[in-house]
Amino acid sequence: MSAKTLMVQGTASNVGKSILVAALCRIMRQDGWDVAPFKAQNMSLNSFVTRDGGEMGRAQVVQAEAACIEPTVDMNPILLKPEADNRSQVVVRGKALKTQSAREYYSLKKHLWGVVTESLDRLLSGYELVIIEGAGSPAEINLRDKDIVNMEVALYARSPVLLVTDIDRGGAFASLVGTLELLQPAERSLVKAMVMNKFRGDVSLLTPGLKWLEEKTGIPVAGVVPYYHDIRIAEEDSVPLEWKTRPNRTESSLLDIAVILLPHMSNFDDFDPLEQEHEVRLRYVRSRNDLGNPDLIILPGTKSTVADLAYLKQTGIAGDVVTFASKGVPVIGICGGYQMLGEFILDPNHIESSETKVAGLGLLPVTTSFLPVKSTHQVKGYVQGSSGLLREACGLAFTGYEIHMGQTAVENTAAPLVIEERSRTICRDVDGCTNADGEVLGTYVHGIFHNQDLRRAILRQIADKKGVRLNLAGDVRSKEEEYDKLAYWVRNNLDMALINRIVGGRSL
């Protein structure tokens, strides 16, 4: 192990560890470090496929992008994808291993610890600096002997730790002091600084409390990072959707798009680019009462297609989607959402559920069969569909990725998308399906809306059908701009000289 390390741990889940690591990756990159992120174990439905077909948590992809490097599964060697009935699919080094309960998973610690250390060692030998992210809190004493992601990693790497808390939640001082009190002496000795995150208000009012905190713990406060509103960075999990259920635009927006918020919704950052289009009102809808009169309905990806389809039927949302489609309202299904739009879902081997055959919404002439092998690929291709939603998109190129365990058979209809490259292999495959008039579209390609020309062609077609004209001038802000904004925000609110001393790096 030759690289220097810095670990970011939190007093709880969702205190902002992932975003802070992304910011530090960009800051250190700007300061000349060859830096990489690492998180031993992630639990998230928001995943990504690497160039060589490995599946990993989206947060470490964001952090790698911020560090200006290619993401690899070593940056997130273990990914847990929650499913229905209190179980998770265990993805190890990019490949699905098995589905297990929490108790069964913890029995794998000895094997998985070797996976963690091997991946971390490869990063430590290949980069100057590795910024490590913890998970949840290191003070969960009931799980201490099962730890492979927090202090066990810090001790293995002999890494200094920044302890972060979310002051917006309240109880930040108690959270920091309480966490430190529950750590073992060797663990506490690694905590070199504390960070107050997501602060709103006058920071000078915190000064007496910060002074007390430093005197009480003997550990310096590295800074207070204010809450931000206008920096768009893909989030790790679905917690941000709690506030996204509030629409991002007013009633005066020209287009109203409703994304059905499924219980096991995955890859929710598929729709982030739609939020950045100023004339689009994007809503995440939980109930049929909130559906309103959308111009487009989207069924997103899901880790549990059958369970979430049952949820749609039980709540009445399924019937509403079918009714809207019969009236000509466009519907798009992505991955699991695409599977739901078909005639049937077959699961004879009970890969996903106890059901053998489930009726879909019947909006597309397709049938999906679940298989034990997961397909994970980056893809490139072009649009060959030329009707309905894709009337203006024919011939446009796209990139994206696939993550699915089913194969979908299409009945007597031309596929709307052509895949020309899959996992760096040249091919000529087809993807997806549309109904007769092209107003219902299904595809396995995640990230389809991240292709600006294709996204805007679809939006213009919906607007033309509605009889309004969109002004889609100018590009949305690039990822690079967002990472630079984040780095500027964090750099100016942390004591980077202190952090650099903690790392043992270059003088600033």
The predicted-structure confidence for 13-30, as pLDDT tens digits, reads as follows 999 999 999 999 999 999
Predicted confidence (pLDDT) per residue in 340-389, tens digit: 999 999 999 888 888 899 999 999 999 999 988 888 999 999 999 999 99
Contact 222, 162 (CB under 8 A): yes
Parallel, antiparallel or unpaired: strands 417-422 and 265-266: unpaired
Q: Which of 322, 329, 300 is nearest to 445 (CA)?
A: 300
Predicted confidence (pLDDT) per residue in 383-412, tens digit: 999 999 999 999 999 999 999 888 999 987
Of the pLDDT bands very low, low, confident and very high (cuts 50, 70, 90), residue 105 is confident
pTM recorded for the entire structure: 0.87
Average pLDDT over residues 410-422: 89
Average pLDDT over residues 296-304: 95
Of 158-172, 240-254, 298-312, 449-463, the one with minimum mean pLDDT is: 240-254
The C-alpha atoms of residue 285 and residue 282 are separated, in whole angstroms, by: 10
Report the C-alpha dihedral over residues 484, 490, 495, 498, rounded to 10 degrees: -70
Average pLDDT over residues 187-205: 93
- Among the listed residues 264, 377, 446, 450, the single catalytic one is 446
**82 or 41: which leads in pLDDT:** 41
pLDDT of residue 237: 56
As a whole number of Å, the CA-based R_g of the chain is 23
**Per-residue CA distances from 157 to 6, 71, 121, 145 (Å):** 9, 21, 9, 18
pLDDT of residue 398: 97
The C-alpha atoms of residue 12 and residue 392 are separated, in whole angstroms, by: 47
pLDDT of residue 1: 53
Q: What is the DSSP string of 228-269?
A: -SS-----SSSTTHHHHTS-SS-TT-SEEEEEE--TTEE-GG
Contact 266, 235 (CB under 8 A): no
Q: How many CB atoms lie within 10 A of CB 112?
A: 22
Average pLDDT over residues 403-428: 89
Q: Which of 106, 154, 112, 108 is nearest to 130 (CA)?
A: 154
Is 264 known to be catalytic? Answer: no
The CA-CA-CA angle for residues 393, 394, 399, to 5°, reads: 70
- DSSP three-state, residue 384: coil
- Among the listed residues 25, 264, 335, 377, the single catalytic one is 335
Of the pLDDT bands very low, low, confident and very high (cuts 50, 70, 90), residue 144 is confident
pLDDT of residue 252: 62
Average pLDDT, the chain: 91
- Decide if pLDDT at 71 tops 90: yes
pLDDT of residue 85: 63
- Decide if pLDDT at 156 tops 80: yes
pLDDT of residue 367: 95
Report the first-to-last Cα separation within the chain, whole angstroms: 25
Listed in order, strand segments (DSSP E) in 137-218 are 161-166, 191-199
Predicted confidence (pLDDT) per residue in 268-295, tens digit: 889 989 988 989 999 999 999 999 999 9
Which domains does the chain show, CATH number per domain? 4-40+63-69+116-232+481-503 (3.40.50.300), 241-466 (3.40.50.880)
Place of tokens 């996976």: 115
The C-alpha atoms of residue 417 and residue 194 are separated, in whole angstroms, by: 50
The C-alpha atoms of residue 267 and residue 238 are separated, in whole angstroms, by: 9
Is 335 known to be catalytic? Answer: yes
